[in-house]
Chains A and B, each alone.
Chain A
Amino acid sequence: MKWQRNDTLAAAGFLLPNILGFLVFTAGPLAFSLAVSITNWNVQHTVPFQCTGTENYTELLHDKQFWIFFINTVYLMLGMPICIAGSLFLAVLLNQRLRGMVAYRTLFYLPSFTSGVALMILWKALYNPDFGPINALLDWCLQTFRINELLRALGCHPVAPPQWLSATNNLLGLVPQELQISGSKFGLGAREALIIMGVWIAIGGNNMLLYLAALTNVPQELVEAAQIDGAGRWKVFRHVTWPQLAPTTFFIVVMSFIGSLQGGFDQARVMTNGGPSGTTTTLAYYIYTKAFEEFQIGYASAVAWVLFSVIFVVTLINWKYGQKELSY
């Protein structure tokens, strides 16, 4: 039966607080941010206010720092495939009718749920190159298994535990503050430390729960039919389960992309303050320093909008490509 009433008045009443807040704190600021990004405003009244047009945008495109930090942001996404694969693996493991699965699920989800400043401070202590347990463990392994003697016998350099958060080394050999690659910079450094921590936090997180839900929705008839046909576990997974998980995978990938592009601030602020020589500064952290330490509101808003456009474009691409690839 269709409702004949027009509830506009009632709706207005119900909607009012929320939409007021929405306009004042979300929609309004959005428009304001776009407007301010074409000015040179810096809140302090030291520089006369004027509309500078697209000057902020051209400046940031030529700003070497901006591109370096953009690369940093993309670099920190290296952990994403490991994370998603890991979540899938854990979800498959948990998807059995055994007692205690709920307990395991809770334990796996714990890092993700408690993620925050306290956890980052914990990892900062773990990564301490002189006093932290990670390097202490690595040192112990090196001593006990006499790895350095072995390496010397093979003619290689002896290794030492990495300096983690104070090292500018990284797996791709990127030189800090320049857009170059150098062989001397290979190693494990601050960026890898953050990636490892990120994977640890997210591997048992929301992605795992989403996969669990999707796994329970895989029609059992298909699985059983494949098994009756003689397919092994791996083949069943590859050809039956995996395609059924496609929409979830797609959703997770898109969300992870969006999250990684705009993230990295908390880690940078709490653990490295931007990293040794700016190696862990992501775009979000760069916007923070420009906006809230130098108070260059106009320029920071321009950078924020560029970031937003990148996210938008990535989402669009994922959407288009994803629909084509995964549609059945």
Chain B
Amino acid sequence: MADQAARSVRLYEPARTPGFGAWWYRQGQFVASHLLLALLAITMLLPFLWMVLASFKPYEEVENLNPFPSTWHPENYRKVFEQVPFARYYFNSVFVALWVTFLQCLTSAMAAFAFARLKWPGRDMVFRLYLATLMIPGIVTMIPNYVLTVKLQLLDSYLGLIVPASFSAFGTFLLRQFMLTIPPALDEAAWMDGAGPWTVFWDIALPLARPGLIALAVFTFMGNYGSFFWPLILIKSEHLRTLPIGMLYFDSVYGKQTNLIMAASVMNLVPLIVLFVCSQKFLVRGIQMGGVKG
């Protein structure tokens, strides 16, 4: 796994097509590939297209076969905000996700540094213990975590949403992989100059592991933004609902108004899409380094 990680640092070099056959053949291949890919891409994206188009339709037209609305109704988006406190849901989701991302990145980076760069007895054994817990289905630990929040009276609060989600063995694992790829020579120079571990961490390890940090930050934000199970069992009050729970509530109460539901879904997905397009490079590398998304 480690040498694959090293090799994938030269990430994406497309294979060279063998140069046999005529130029026409190559051109034909070019056109055929593009055609096929375009067709597949459009098929994959059809649901999204339908969603966007349906969000502009008036209520009666949603069930028509014609996907295009006869009249465009952008006020559907405004109506969503009027029928449920959507802005509040947005704020809650982003707020909680930002806190969780910050805490997770910080704690995972510190722990990854301890596992990758510091030497202490029992290091590898403890790390294997961390790895082992990655295999445990989330639901096994959710139940006791819920009981814990009940006892600590953190049910139905921001703290209850943020704190349990702020620790992840996966984050530690991912950042450790990245930190291992940093050449030790840099560290050693610093150690020899008498720098303490804190300085080495902040000035050498973190900046060089930046791609990993970005990947982890994006993963965590995205994961927590869409987190469904934990807020579902924890949150009771309306003003603390996050987007997924808000969407569920919206759908159960106003489900018949498909055009509004689709508008809400579009608004739900837009931040994710924007985030993804901006951070694609880091994400792909992160996935291929870590092997799996959380």
Contact = CB atoms under 8 A, between A and B. Distances in A.
A122 B107 CA distance: 36
A29 B34 contact: no
Given A32-B144, A108-B41, A137-B65, A15 B111 contact: yes
A220 interface: yes
A58 interface: no
Interface in A96-155: 96-98, 100-102, 104-111, 113-119, 121-126, 128, 130-133, 136-137, 140
B16 A220 contact: yes
B23 interface: no
Contacts of B118: 7, 10-11, 14
Interface stretch (A46-54, A77-85, A205-213): A205-213
A269 B248 CA distance: 9
Interface in B44-90: 44-45, 47-48, 50-51, 54, 62-65, 67
A14 B8 CA distance: 29
B68 to A, nearest CB: 12
A15 B114 contact: yes
B148 interface: yes
A283 B132 CA distance: 22
A121 B44 contact: no
A288 B229 CA distance: 9
B63 A136 contact: yes
A25 B36 CA distance: 48
Contacts of A104: 37-38, 41
Interface residues of B, number: 104
A19 B135 contact: no
Interface in B80-119: 106-108, 110-111, 113-114, 118-119
A123 B120 CA distance: 51
B18 interface: yes
A217 B8 contact: yes
B226 interface: yes
Interface residues of A, number: 107
A258 B135 contact: yes
A190 interface: no
B136 A308 contact: yes
A270 B248 contact: yes
A22 B40 CA distance: 43
A227 B147 contact: no
B140 A305 contact: yes
Contacts of B288: 209-210, 213
B239 interface: no
Interface of B: 4, 7-8, 11-18, 20, 30, 33-34, 36-38, 40-41, 44-45, 47-48, 50-51, 54, 62-65, 67, 106-108, 110-111, 113-114, 118-121, 123, 126, 129-130, 133, 135-148, 150, 164, 166-167, 169, 172, 188, 191, 196-198, 201, 222, 225-226, 228-229, 232-233, 243-244, 247-248, 251, 258, 261-262, 264-265, 268-269, 272-273, 276-277, 280, 284, 287-288, 291-293
Interface of A: 1, 3, 5-8, 10-12, 14-15, 17-22, 24-30, 32-33, 36, 43, 90, 93-98, 100-102, 104-111, 113-119, 121-126, 128, 130-133, 136-137, 140, 200, 203-204, 206, 209-210, 212-213, 215-218, 220, 223-224, 227, 251, 255, 258, 261-262, 265-266, 269-270, 284, 287-288, 291-292, 297, 300-301, 304-305, 307-308, 311-312, 315
- Shortest 8 CB-CB contacts between residues of A and residues of B: A21-B167, A29-B144, A116-B226, A18-B111, A262-B137, A97-B14, A117-B244, A131-B63
